[in-house]
Amino acid sequence: MMPAPQSKGPRRPLSVRGARPATRLGGNSRVRIAVGRILLIGALLIAGVKLVQVQGIQADELSQQAQKQRTTRQDIPAERGSILDRNGNQLAFSIEVRALYILPQRARKTWDDARAAKPADHPLSYDDHAREMAGFISSTLGPEVNGEKTDEETIYQQLVQDISYEVLVSEAEPAKAAKIVEKYPAEIGSEYRSKRIYPNGELASNVIGAANWRQDEKPPTTQGILGLESAQDNLLAGRMGRRIVDTMSGDDTVVIPNTERELVKPQPGKSLELTIDIDTQYAVQRMVTDYAKKSGAKNASAVVLDSRTGEIVAMANDKTYDPADFGKSSEDQRRNGAVASNFEPGSVNKIVTAAAAVELGLFKPDDVLQVPGSIRVADRVIRDAWTHGTVPMSFTGVFARSSNVGTLQAAQQVGQERYAEMLQKFGLGSRTQSGVPAEESGVVPPLNQWSGSTFGNLPIGQGLSMTLLQMTGMYQAIANDGLRIPPRLIRAEIGEEGARSEKPRPEGVRVVSPETAKTVRDMFRSVTQSDPRDANQNGTGKAAALPGYQIAGKTGTAQQIDPVCKCYSQSQYWITFAGILPADNPRYVVGIMLDAPNGTQFSSSAAPLFHDIAAYLTQRFQVPMSAEQTPFVQLQM
């Protein structure tokens, strides 16, 4: 039997198909794939090269450019120092405030983007959210902050404006500002600002000056604008700190909220302790203002000096201004007439002749001069204020009665050179270096420019000019036993933690001997002498007398220049007075100037104003009464 043939394996079911044979690739498909691979490789190579360039070669440069676009270096203003009176009372100080701001366009976009991403967390529209913020801000701040409206509707309109930056309020309290920023940190920003406070309003404003926050400065800061605030700005301002903040692209002044990083803390400014006594300043300023009105004066000023130290206890003008709102004041109001006005002092200047004549041993108080009614000096004839023939006057009487002729007789004995030297010793023609801003120097013609009639003008207080502070300083020298102490305004500087550094006292200038100074003081007591029985024995300043105290002083009347004829006016005068309190034990010196008083019973003399100021000083500082009353002196024989 033949063997059966061998089987090749089991047969597949008909339902199962085998794999299709591969289709042959066409030429075009292979080209496309190859090109795609080449492009992909090329792109990766280019990206790799760029990555190497960015991360390696240009890394520092690009990093710096990116930082410049989003960060800004800013100065942090320092706390400004205060200005204090001699007893530590504040005349000017700063408080910290906050400006609240928003970036409305950015805030709206941020809110809308967040709402689109998570609508459940942001159910309100931006406008409704802004209404909610406005309500909270207004309820926290109140309806108004220092004149700025902060009611809900005003705030809401600011929040929804289509602008990049908006200040909501400029001077918010820091605690309230912090509460608002804490609730809305993504929308509301807070910016440091400083507000200058003048607790006494117009008091001593001509001296203190004004400072305010200057947002337009680079960097913004509190800047002194007028007076001492300006003159001492560097010392008061301190040293600024530094910080890094994120700012809006293209505007370095718009800080993105909550991006501040402090780098260097600011160094606070120093405070100034002045020589002024706030109570005396108030009283004198009030009296000067009142007397200017009563006398019809265009301007009026008064200065009170400590006779022993030269310290300025008060410096008052009738016109003042509110330093917190100085923009509304006039130039005349801002001016410190006590140092910025030059005037001819009139007979107050006769003390120079008296001091020189006594110092040189030319005259004694009881010496008698035969004084005619007039005297010729070069081409000028000078007369006394009252008509008289030749009369015998004591040397004391010449000044008590303010005789021009008798004064010129004594001055001629002194001589021009020695007289010019005495003017210089009294500090005339030079600034006092008191520290009071805007001080003028006055004008004293140099000896080599004197004409024949010059020496007929100067001894009676015409032909030269001075400031009220200089004039008061002349009498301080006589009050202080002949030693003139240049006046000063700043007593001490106060640094951090109350460290006090007293300013060195200026060196004194010997004008005359102590004996001469006492003799002149005693002579000038007769200016306030009054004799109801004989008018010839009355001094010109009897209204300055103060019961219980010896007063030495001098009245002055000087013709002003008529702007039309350029000659001396017959109707416009400077009225002056300088006095020493008490004459037997000097404590204070008071100088007064009235500019062109007219039309009232108070227009002819400043002596009544001296009386009022002196009476206040004795009470304020408990000045002991004089041991004895001023002795009566025969003025005219």
- 8 Å CB contact between 147 and 141: no
Helix (H) or strand (E) holding 492: strand 490-494
Judge whether 44 lies within some domain: no
| 204 and 283 within one domain | no
If asked whether residues 362 and 437 sit together in one domain, one would say: yes
Gyration radius from the chain CA atoms:
42
Q: How many CB atoms lie within 10 A of CB 231?
A: 18
Q: Is the pLDDT of residue 352 over 90?
A: yes
Q: Is residue 430 part of a domain?
A: yes
pLDDT value for 18: 45
**CATH code of 297's domain:** 3.40.710.10
pLDDT digits (tens, 9 = 90+) for 365-398: 999 999 999 999 998 999 999 999 999 999 999 9
Length of the chain: 637
Residue holding tokens 């001509």?
Answer: 206
Q: Would you place residue 60 in the very low, low, confident or very high pLDDT band (cuts 50, 70, 90)?
A: low
Domain span at residue 474 reads 278-322+334-621
Task: Give the C-alpha separation, 79 to 270, whole Å.
Answer: 9
- Is 557 in the same domain as 540? yes
Asked whether residue 270 falls in the same domain as residue 283, the answer is no
DSSP 411-433: HHHH-HHHHHHHHHHTTTTS---
The answer to whether residue 265 sits within a structural domain is yes
Average pLDDT of the chain is 90
DSSP 602-630: TSS-SHHHHHHHHHHHHHHTTPPPPSSPP
The total of structural domains in the chain comes to 2
Could you tell me the pLDDT band of residue 50, with boundaries at 50, 70 and 90?
low
Residues 251 and 286 in one domain: no
Q: Are residues 312 and 461 in the same domain?
A: yes
d(CA 69, CA 634): 89
Q: Please give the residue that has the higher pLDDT: either 611 or 59.
A: 611
Asked, for residue 628, whether it belongs to a domain, the answer is no
Strand partners, 626: none
CATH number of residue 122's parent domain: 3.90.1310.10
> How does residue 565 score in pLDDT terms, banded at 50, 70 and 90?
confident
Q: Is residue 11 part of a domain?
A: no
Confidence bin at 53 (pLDDT 50/70/90): low
Q: Any catalytic annotation for residue 394?
A: no
Q: What average pLDDT score do residues 22-42 get?
A: 68
What is the rounded CA–CA span in Å between residue 95 and residue 324? 13
The DSSP symbol for 355 reads: H
Share of the chain above pLDDT 90, in %: 78
Q: Is the pTM of this model over 0.75?
A: yes
| Whether residue 364 sits in one domain with residue 309 | yes
For residue 449, which phi and psi values (nearest 5 degrees)? -110, 5
390-431 pLDDT, tens digit each: 999 999 999 999 999 999 999 999 999 999 999 999 999 999
Report pLDDT for 250: 55
Same domain, 192 and 307: no
Alpha carbon distance 192, 78 (integer Å):
10
Question: What pLDDT does 143 receive?
Answer: 95
Q: Inform me whether the pLDDT recorded for 451 exceeds 80.
A: yes
Lowest-confidence region among 145-159, 247-261, 340-354, 571-585: 247-261
Q: Which of 138, 347, 434, 465 is catalytic?
A: 347
Distance between CA atoms of 484 and 506, rounded to whole angstroms?
10
- Per-residue pLDDT tens for 88-113? 999 999 999 999 999 999 999 999 99
The answer to the question of residue 172 being in a domain is yes
Do 185 and 292 belong together in one domain? no
At 489, list the tokens. 């305004």
Domain co-membership, 497 together with 564: yes
Residues 266 and 311 in one domain: no
Residue 396 in domain? yes
608 lies in some domain: yes
227 and 343 in a single domain? The answer is no
CA distances from 94 to 78, 196, 291 (A): 11, 4, 34
Helix (H, G, I), strand (E, B) or coil at 368: strand
User: Using one digit for the tens of pLDDT, what is the confidence trace for 147-204?
Assistant: 999 999 999 999 999 999 999 999 999 999 999 999 999 999 998 899 999 999 999 9
| Tokens encoding 287 | 């009296």
Taking alpha carbons only, the member of 253, 226, 225, 221 closest to residue 238 is 221
What are the two backbone dihedrals, phi and then psi, of residue 463, each rounded to the nearest 5 degrees? 85, 0
